[in-house]
Structure 1
Amino acid sequence: SLHNPVVSDFGFIGRDSATLQLERSFQQETIVLLSGMVGCGKTAMAASFARWQLETGADWEFVLSFSFEHLHSLAPICDRIEHELRDVVGADWPDDWQGLQSSERVQAIGTRLKQIRGLIIWDHFEGVAGLHAAAASAAWAPDSQEALRDFLLHLRGGQTKILIVSRRDERWLGDIYLRIELEGLDLVESQQLALNVLQDEQISAEDMRELQPYNDLLANLCGNPLAIQVILPNLKQRAPEALLQALQSCNGSVFDEIVQQELVQAVSASLLDSFFVLDDTLRKQLCILGLFRGVVSVGLLVTMFKIAKDPSHQPPALRDVDQDDWRVVLKVAASAGLVSSNVTIEGPESLRSHYYTLHPALSWILSPLWRETFPKHLEVLEFLYVVAYGGYAVGFGMDGLLVETQAAISVLSAEEDNMHHALRLAHQYGWWGHLGHLIQGLDRLLTLQGRLVEREQLFNRIAEDITDANNQPLPGRLTLWHVVLGRLAQFALDRGNLDTAEHIYKQLLSYAEQQDDHRRQSAMLHQLGLVARARYQFDQAERLYLRSLELSERCDDALGQAKSLHQLGIITQNARRLEEANQYYLRSLQITQNRDYKEMQDVEAVTLYQLGMLRSDQKRFDEAESYLNQSLIITKRVFDTPGEAATLNQLGFIAAVHGYYSRAEEFYKQSLAIKLELDDQDGIALSLHHLGIIAQAQE
């Protein structure tokens, strides 16, 4: 039988993977640690595993479960085990048990447990070692910790299994256990729990059908069972979108109502039960986590406080806190179950180790606390947060540093909630320049993930806030207005809505002409040339590119010149004016070569590619191969995977012309692999077609 089973009011849901992990771990090791953040369901998982084992025929003689919350040494643990074993398995203990020395009782219990097949669940184990030196009074004495570690070491290899349940990894125990990190419920499991919670709130089936979709709300709660149970009842009075906005902003009347609810207060007490035993400085440093959403990184915290030009404007507790100090703060938070080091980030360990996942309730629990803690510094701290994330967004954004696509998606995905929160703050305070930085990162993320409708909705919302009734930029928002409208025009151009694209570009051109801004005029004429080319109006496109080139030369805009020369090369090449095309490409290449920023390298790569195509057209295949190889080097350097695939495809063609079929096949296969990753169906078909031709040629 199971002593002190824990049964959720809403039933135990899912966790098949965790159950299998536990079973396999106990096949390898005597002691298993089940860790996870507050409210993720560790206690219920442990009890469910034990119950499942018994129901599926495990030949355990006993299962015991008890909490370490009020225990401070090994002796009462052994006394409790002795008492339970007498009742459960009728163990034969010495008559003078109570007269034995403590060490003798520990030895007797350890020996007996090694002989009996059973399972012991030790819950709330995190209190044994405490959180940090600042909270040492809450931990067991060092000699008691050592005695417990020795006891567990003695049990290894025996018949009784020990399942330790803790908020954190208990590394002080040494290499004597296997660890399983319990994460949140998946979406299907979260939906089932949500349904149970809503039914418990007496919401009828008919009313449930009328509820607006709330999957985004569940995603924000990260599958944390406790958070779901606390927030979902609010759907009786509030729309999911209103709840989600309140939890994301941690502001407004809806949020104020939520945090005053009895259940939320209980969760707050549970989350912060170890918080108030810390020293004052550490508590204040932890409070800054109330500003973050979803994840926090050591690097971002360091960057935030490096930005401040005058440290005296910062709260004293946050001055001169370096990278090592922030690591300590976050490790303390992890020990308390407020954050987890389990974050899905692709990239080097040096990047991944900086990141921690926040408990889904942490922002709305800590937000009031951090506002109370730093009342005179709120705007300064929010400004540093916005500026730091603006830098991140530029670094991983469309025109930023050279960052590999998958790494960029990984980091931007993890930081999406933070960037949206920074965007809200930038809008609230009117920090339009920093808002422009932030949308670069969100733009790239939504583009790479194919969330194009969301992307356009984001830019349209911003456009409404920066444009007056006459479709002119509001004061202080001119640069952002150009960026946002330019992207909206590009979106229209990409989906073939040429009239909309042309209308926006002409609007931007007209404003640039009013301001006598030659650089922007040149850029808009270039874009209108793209619209004309898409309409097959090649003469019109050429005139527009020539006007763009003239203006970019007048204002010494090297990038604008390189782009227009490149496009003029394409127009004249398509018109079979090959020598003109060659001259345009070479002039463009002369400008872009040896430039170390991404946009110039992008133009250089495509120009080299076009020169390779031109030389192929002229049957000068050796020269073509040389240009294409140069282009390939750059496309790999700037992580232009579509350009890399196209270049590999053309190199395959040239190899086939020379009769090097094995080499051609390798190029085509490399190109195909990239197109498969990009899900480029037309490109996949073309590569397969070429591979088919090569196969026939080799027969």
Structure 2
Amino acid sequence: MSPVKLCDTPYLLMLDNLESVTGQALAIQNTLPAGEQQKLRQFLLKLVGGKTKVVLGSRSDEAWLTDAYTHGGKANVYPLGGLDPESRTVLAEKILEAQVGDGQRIAALRQDDDFKRLMALLAGYPLAMEVVLANLARQSPQEILAALNAADVDLNVGGGDKTNNILKCVEYSHSNLSPQAQKLLVCLAPFDSFIFQGALENYGKQLQQREPFADYDFAQFDVAIQEAIHWGLLSPHESGFPGLLTIQPIFPYFLRTKLNHLEATTRDALYDGFKAHYQGLAGSYQQLMASKDPNQRQLGLLFCRLEYENLYTALQICLRKRETIDIFFCLAEYLKQINDIDGRLQLSKFVCDAHDSYPKEICKGEIRFEMTMALDRLAYCYLAKQSYQQAQLSYSRIVNLLEQMEEGDQDSKRHKNISLASTYHQLGYVAQEQRQYEQARSHYQQALDIKIEFNDRYSQASTYHQLGNVAEELREYEQARSHYQQALDIKIEFGDRYSQASTYHQLGIVAQALREYEQARSHYQQALDIKIEFNDRYSQASTYHQLGIVAQELREFEQARSHYQQALDIKIEFGESAGADGSASRYSQARTYGQLGLLAEAQEDYSQAQQHLQKALEIFVEFNDQHSAEMVLQILARLYQNTQDDLILTAIAQCLHITPAQVQQHFAAASA
């Protein structure tokens, strides 16, 4: 077809494997003579600006065709990275079906955290996935990860065909690098998935402090990086931020095979420098995540997400060397902020298990204190997952470690005891969650006594507040009020206005329980004012709900309806969101619908009452809360008695998936 027709008519022309035209080493052997290459170039140049779209595919940059794909001074190049998440999942399933076969094991692999890490490392590169995942036929994901780290896994698939053998592809690209670049890039062997190019200068300084790397010219690191990008071993990260690089998945493995040929002292020095480099970065990332500036926090989260595997590798080195685990606290904070409780639990357990293997003679001082901090993170995860027995065991281990810790100067003694107080406080919370109120009170009192002894006045507020909770649960309302007031006084003293809201709210509940409705309303209003001031919209719902109950008790029905509706609007708003509070907010709507139903019943608006109670019943059934559903059914039975409206029976029957006659029988049995 002539260039003229292609320019005038919209076609799609695809020329793949262009590296074969110039006869590069990885190419399928279809090399064109220089004259034919020139003809092809001229042909493509004539299509520039025409209606036909031309796609050129190649493993190299095809510099001889640059003017054919450059427009307005900008090269129209799309670096081909890994598959998108959906496509890589589909490919992984096909590989597992072919290589593993066992459906039960495949299902287990899908849930395996190490398999998820392996998939993240492979980054959707099809050939890398086919080669690495094939090893799952005889190895676990954990074993493959360890083997990749040690450059001890079979990746030699594809035989002698360089276009299909992934190692030969990487080896060819690597062989085209300058000797200086090859030497420097071996220093990237510990990295996985991602490199922050802006931090490599500091990495080079860390390595140069170690004798095997004293003569390395790390000033040329950026030049070596650019060569690696040119040959497809590294590529700009998909985020588009300058200095962020993605590593071709098999490249680290290849570099580790090169590293294995160097002396053991060189290898040890490299990983030691890598560890020190990430100890510094972990501190920086943790500071970013703790920033009050939301943009800084997001930046910290971004880097922790991209650097996770590198930080994790550095943490493993720290644990092997029995050194400080400050990197762990960075990763644990990241997982906390993204609400990955399972990931945080697995990481904390990994670190605590590693600590258990430490020789007793080194489990003192800073190491012992870090052990207590790691156990604290582990216990927190168990608590979040309502695994109370494991949480209690972990917190009890912390108490034992702290009590056995040798005390030095006054500061270290105070630090130890404040940590002990915090742990007793958490033991109180674990007991409280299990409704072991006397045990909870005992632990809270132990915490409070230590805080008073060491004049940790500010943190006393949280313990007084929890003691108030316990007394409230035991219906010791005057005692509860006293504890809440002590907590509030401290919060006011230290200017902690935001946290005052929760205590004002609880004081309102106590006053309400004592039928001191005006006092309750005053406390609730103070709580609400603070929540509005700090734009804590989600928690405003609970206070609007309580204000509705107070107004209803005072027979201020319109005011009650207004408060309930405000609470419901917020709960619906958050229930429809995809956030972490969505499910809890949906469930809590049922309570407010129930109160609106009771309010309508009190005003003898039975139709409105039935609608609200029906909504409450649907949500309680949805969340399998049989006790609350039965309470709503009792109110609906009362409504049916007053109205004899068969529509009530029909609506309930549809919700419970039974017949109206069965609903009527249930009502009759309940009233008998």
Which category of TM-score, normalised to the shorter sequence, fits these structures? 0.5 to 0.7
Distance 1:236 1:470, change over 3 A: closer
CA contact (8 A) 1:295 1:357 kept: yes
Question: Are 1:630 and 2:530 an aligned pair?
Answer: yes
CA contact (8 A) 1:568 1:581 kept: yes
Counterpart in 2 of 1:650?
A: 543
Question: Are 1:555 and 2:447 an aligned pair?
Answer: no
CA contact (8 A) 2:424 2:444 kept: yes
Q: CA deviation at 1:482?
A: 0.8
Q: CA deviation at 1:186?
A: 1.3
> Pick from 517, 527, 546: which aligns with 2:445?
546
- What is the correspondence of 1:409-558 to structure 2 with a 5 Å cutoff? 411-434=303-326, 436-441=328-333, 443-444=335-336, 448-450=339-341, 452=342, 455-467=344-356, 474-475=363-364, 477-515=367-405, 517-558=416-457
SS in 2 for 1:191: helix
Structure number with the higher helix fraction is 2
Question: Are 1:685 and 2:619 an aligned pair?
Answer: no
Q: CA deviation at 1:303?
A: 6.0
One-letter amino acid matched to 2:340: Q
Counterpart in 1 of 2:628?
A: none
Q: CA deviation at 1:387?
A: 0.7
CA contact (8 A) 2:541 2:570 kept: yes
- What is the correspondence of 1:117-516 to structure 2 with a 5 Å cutoff? 122-124=56-58, 126-129=60-63, 140=64, 149=67, 151=68, 174=73, 177=76, 179=78, 181-184=80-83, 185-193=87-95, 198=99, 216=115, 217-218=118-119, 220-232=121-133, 234=135, 238-247=139-148, 249-250=149-150, 254-255=152-153, 267-279=166-178, 282-301=181-200, 304=203, 315=214, 317=216, 332-343=227-238, 352-369=241-258, 377-391=269-283, 394-395=286-287, 411-434=303-326, 436-441=328-333, 443-444=335-336, 448-450=339-341, 452=342, 455-467=344-356, 474-475=363-364, 477-515=367-405
Q: Quote the Cα distance in structure 1 between the aligned partners of 2:178 and 2:19.
A: 33
RMSD: 5.1
Q: Quote the Cα distance in structure 1 between the aligned partners of 2:33 and 2:503.
A: 76
SS in 1 for 2:435: coil
CA contact (8 A) 2:425 2:443 kept: yes
Q: What is the count of residue pairs matched by the alignment?
A: 545
One-letter amino acid matched to 1:460: K
SS in 2 for 1:291: coil
Q: CA deviation at 1:281?
A: 5.0
Q: Quote the Cα distance in structure 2 between the aligned partners of 1:182 and 1:367.
A: 22
Q: Quote the Cα distance in structure 1 between the aligned partners of 2:282 and 2:49.
A: 58
CA displacement 1:161-212 (0-9 Å, x = unmatched)? xxxxxxxxxx78745748474532512223324656x5xxxx9x79x99899
Distance 1:279 1:31, change over 3 A: farther
Distance 1:630 1:30, change over 3 A: farther
Counterpart in 2 of 1:576?
A: 477
- Aligned sequence identity (%): 15
Q: CA deviation at 1:527?
A: 1.9
Q: Higher relative CO (CA 8 A, sep ≥ 6), structure 1 or 2?
A: 1
Q: Quote the Cα distance in structure 1 between the aligned partners of 2:585 and 2:362.
A: 41
Distance 1:403 1:28, change over 3 A: farther
Q: Quote the Cα distance in structure 2 between the aligned partners of 1:189 and 1:383.
A: 34
CA displacement 1:347-402 (0-9 Å, x = unmatched)? xx8xx5453322111210122445668658414422224413532664477x7877
CA contact (8 A) 2:500 2:527 kept: no
CA contact (8 A) 1:300 1:388 kept: no
> Pick from 36, 44, 48: which aligns with 1:76?
36
Q: CA deviation at 1:337?
A: 1.8
Distance 1:314 1:391, change over 3 A: farther
Distance 1:592 1:174, change over 3 A: farther
Q: CA deviation at 1:586?
A: 1.9
Q: CA deviation at 1:684?
A: 0.9
Q: CA deviation at 1:230?
A: 3.3
Deviates more, 1:184-193 or 1:305-314: 305-314
One-letter amino acid matched to 1:672: G
CA displacement 1:607-654 (0-9 Å, x = unmatched)? 4223234247454546644444534666x7xxxxxx762334435765
- What is the correspondence of 1:40-51 to structure 2 with a 5 Å cutoff? none
Q: CA deviation at 1:486?
A: 2.6
Q: CA deviation at 1:466?
A: 1.9
Q: Which runs of 5+ in 2 are unaligned?
A: 2-6, 25-30, 408-415, 549-558, 609-672
Q: Quote the Cα distance in structure 1 between the aligned partners of 2:137 and 2:434.
A: 53
Q: CA deviation at 1:427?
A: 1.8
Q: CA deviation at 1:661?
A: 7.8
SS in 2 for 1:296: strand
Q: CA deviation at 1:440?
A: 1.9
Distance 1:118 1:644, change over 3 A: closer
One-letter amino acid matched to 1:448: N
Q: CA deviation at 1:456?
A: 3.7
CA contact (8 A) 1:311 1:319 kept: no
Q: Quote the Cα distance in structure 2 between the aligned partners of 1:478 and 1:333.
A: 44
Q: Quote the Cα distance in structure 2 between the aligned partners of 1:566 and 1:27.
A: 79
CA contact (8 A) 1:569 1:584 kept: no
Q: Quote the Cα distance in structure 1 between the aligned partners of 2:391 and 2:56.
A: 64
Counterpart in 1 of 2:575?
A: 672
Q: CA deviation at 1:315?
A: 4.8
Q: Quote the Cα distance in structure 1 between the aligned partners of 2:429 and 2:595.
A: 34
Counterpart in 1 of 2:502?
A: 609
Q: CA deviation at 1:592?
A: 5.1
One-letter amino acid matched to 1:231: V
Deviates more, 1:688-697 or 1:421-430: 688-697
Q: CA deviation at 1:691?
A: 6.8
Distance 1:73 1:125, change over 3 A: farther
CA contact (8 A) 2:190 2:252 kept: yes
Q: Quote the Cα distance in structure 2 between the aligned partners of 1:27 and 1:569.
A: 82
CA contact (8 A) 2:193 2:309 kept: yes
Distance 1:65 1:558, change over 3 A: same
Distance 1:246 1:542, change over 3 A: same
Q: CA deviation at 1:426?
A: 1.6
SS in 2 for 1:357: strand
Distance 1:317 1:472, change over 3 A: closer
One-letter amino acid matched to 2:236: S
Distance 1:360 1:522, change over 3 A: same
> When the two structures are superposed, what TM-score results if normalisation uses the length of structure 1?
0.62
Distance 1:563 1:312, change over 3 A: farther
Distance 1:28 1:311, change over 3 A: farther
Distance 1:371 1:319, change over 3 A: farther
